[in-house]
Chain A
């Protein structure tokens, strides 16, 4: 009996240990960014570097908030947050709606040309960004699109294939009895899709949505080019890269880290909010085969 309890206890300890290792692995580099963002230039240059910001002379803990002050005084950065939110949200919604339509067709309906369609959609995203940039820029100038809209459209290049493929695989997994029983009840296929499939795959939708959102939030190269002529439309990654030092060549490393830390927080909050929904959707027992 005692050995059994010990075994369970040991298992528990093992589990928490594993959890701790994972958390440290994932969060420590981020902690290092936080640590760096709270240092002055002199503190950053110290050898050896310290695990918390310390004064170079006295070695007392000394936190520097100037980097955060600087980014809040930077109008472009704050505007970047607004722009990024607009672009990433619109991209995600567009990619989820069109993607789930396409995925329903590809995962649940029988029609000619299904496989070519699947591969064509994937082919959209098989080139490196640098390669397609010039062509894309030409398309956007020809169409005369404004910067925000061109980013949303251009981000379809990598978000749409992703949402379509992931959702297709999830739709396909759902047992066909669900569809059949709905059809018996007189529902049209589209009603089945909207009323039954979508709610059932909520976790997949939220997951793909989150990943697509972050991908759009983080995109740099397209945004740099498309907003070059329109500074008002710059997104966060571009705004951060426009940070400069006091003089040319100086890299404002502390400020960059402060910005990185600061813009990661809303994304993490977003995850927290939506994760609850996933768990809720699941425990209600909706997804039972």
Chain B
């Protein structure tokens, strides 16, 4: 039989060995990390000066969706042509945001110099800012005013520009033109109008023999996407954006309670019960099968909805999202390029970042890959509009862009958002009363960020 004594001995042995080995290993890595940093700074000087005689490789960690990889590569080749001594390598990373973030965190924890440029989600400059250089010091200042102001603001953490905007995204409202006509309705402008229209169409379509039909689908799962949807609800009802730009917790207010209760009322009536488990793709699957009258989603669903085998091809259009007491809001999404502090060639890397985000490359990506530019003037570019007639409409919606409070909460945005979407989820599933959940959320946010409470900023 297994005796007590030997089990304790075994545990102790494991603990002792692991601890001793760790103690040795720990000092080792610290040393090597320090060494690496020193070496790095040496390298930096020598490399940047001796640019001419050796070829420098810059690695961009980015996305590889569809032709994204090819287009980034094309951009890289354009740069190489102008700078023959630089070799730009593109490293593809997973499309799943959490997987990509996890990977980046491992690189950054290891202070890896293997990646020089990171493609960053719009919410990451805040949280990961300490690992990225201030691009204003590398010549970005001259070009920032060309880009959407709210994206530059989002990417600026404590006065430092952590990343260059590369392509943008925003929440938009999809509606079925054929059904609005059939039921003689206008495009809903407010949440109340949306509810009414959705009810009418849903009733009609179900009576016409489609039991799977719903009025409105959105992203209600407990994940970052819900933060996007909910910040649009809140902001469009003058309930602020969780935490204000001047670092006040504003989420616990009457307008927020009101709008969240309204959305809760949608669940199980004009929206399926299962909407509280849906992400972008779940919503799109219902929508594209012709089983929904309205949808909140990102612009990506537009092209897919018009694809050859789509049930709703040519039967829908987009508009700004509905609003409550305030004006319509569109959650800011999209990707940026940031230069790692651990890069051995920061100057060159920054130069590559500025090139990749320049008008020239953004235009190429817009024409060939439908990536939404972050430069407003490009939305009037004829070539771009010819390739993507739909982009002209998008600009008006992106102008309503509301950034999630990632810069204000830096480096605690991820935690803030997780607390927020969990609270919202508990409200729309009916587990908690809105008043209670928001009160608890307020306390949780105080714990997480250490900020005071304040009044929400109004959207109009």
Contacts and interface: CB of A to CB of B under 8 A. Distances in A.
Q: Do chains A and B touch in the complex (CB under 8 A)?
A: yes
What class of interface size applies to chain B in its complex with A? Answer: 35 or more
B434 to A, nearest CB: 29
Interface in A116-153: 116, 118-120, 123, 133-134, 137-139, 141-142
B280 A134 contact: no
Given A119-B14, A123-B14, A241-B99, A138 B303 contact: no
B93 A228 contact: yes
Instruction: Name the residue in B10, B28, B115 with the highest tally of chain A Cβ atoms < 10 Å from its Cβ.
Output: B10
Given A56-B311, A225-B106, A246 B10 contact: no
Nearest to A225: B106
A47 interface: yes
A67 interface: no
Interface string A224-239: 1100110100000000
Contacts of A141: 110, 112
Contact of A248 (B28, B92, B95, B212): B95
B309 interface: yes
Contacts of A139: 25
A245 interface: yes
Contact of B92 (A115, A123, A231): A231
Interface centre among B9, B63, B99 (most CB of A within 10 A): B99
Contact of B289 (A46, A248, A249): A46
Given A45-B288, A119-B7, A228-B103, A248 B300 contact: yes
Contacts of A120: 10, 13-14, 17
Contacts of A46: 289
B95 A134 contact: no
A242 interface: yes
A159 interface: no
Interface string B20-40: 000001001100100000000
Interface string A29-71: 0000000000011101111100000001000000000000000
A224 B99 contact: yes
B64 A244 contact: yes
Contacts of A229: 91, 112, 114-115
Given A115-B10, A116-B9, A231-B91, A248 B63 contact: yes
B28 A40 contact: no
Contacts of A73: none
A40 B64 contact: no
A53 to B, nearest CB: 13
A246 B371 CA distance: 12
Contact of B68 (A45, A48, A118, A248): A248
Contact residues on A (Cβ < 8 Å of other chain), bracket:
35 or more
Interface string B271-294: 000000000110011101101000
Contact of A245 (B25, B66, B103, B309): B66
Interface in A195-242: 224-225, 228-229, 231, 241-242
Given A116-B9, A228-B93, A40 B106 contact: no
Interface string B283-321: 011101101000000101001100101110000000000
A113 to B, nearest CB: 9
A133 B68 CA distance: 29
B103 A224 contact: yes
Contact of A42 (B28, B112, B309): B309
A115 B281 contact: no
Interface string A1-45: 000000000000000000000000000000000000000111011
B412 to A, nearest CB: 20
Interface string B47-84: 00000000000000001111010000000000000000
Contacts of A241: 94, 96, 99
Contacts of B114: 229
Contacts of A123: 14
A247 interface: yes
Given A116-B9, A228-B103, A242-B94, A42 B65 contact: no
Nearest to A123: B14
B109 interface: yes
Contact of B65 (A48, A142, A228, A244): A244
Contacts of B307: 41
Interface in B92-140: 92-96, 99, 102-103, 106-107, 109-110, 112, 114-115
B65 A138 contact: no
A40 B291 CA distance: 17
A45 B285 contact: yes
B106 A137 contact: yes
B32 to A, nearest CB: 7
B88 to A, nearest CB: 16
A147 B197 CA distance: 56
A247 B304 contact: yes
Contacts of B92: 231, 242
A283 interface: no
Contacts of A137: 106, 110
A250 interface: yes
Contact of B13 (A116, A247, A249, A251): A116
Nearest to B64: A244
B103 A250 contact: no
A48 B310 CA distance: 16
Contacts of A224: 94, 99, 102-103
B106 A133 contact: yes
Contacts of A248: 63, 65-66, 68, 95, 300
A247 B91 contact: no
B310 to A, nearest CB: 7
A47 B288 CA distance: 11
A90 to B, nearest CB: 24
Contact of A244 (B66, B109, B115, B280): B66
Contacts of B107: 228
Contacts of A56: 311
Contacts of A118: 10
B312 to A, nearest CB: 10
Given A47-B212, A245-B66, A247-B300, A138 B95 contact: no
Given A42-B289, A119-B14, A120-B13, A247 B303 contact: yes
B14 A250 contact: no
B184 interface: no
Given A231-B91, A250-B284, 16 more contacts: A41-B288, A42-B289, A45-B288, A46-B289, A47-B212, A138-B110, A142-B32, A228-B107, A242-B64, A244-B95, A245-B66, A247-B303, A249-B95, A249-B298, A250-B300, A250-B304
16 contacts: A44-B285, A45-B288, A46-B289, A118-B10, A142-B28, A142-B29, A224-B99, A224-B102, A228-B103, A229-B112, A231-B91, A241-B99, A244-B66, A247-B65, A248-B68, A250-B281
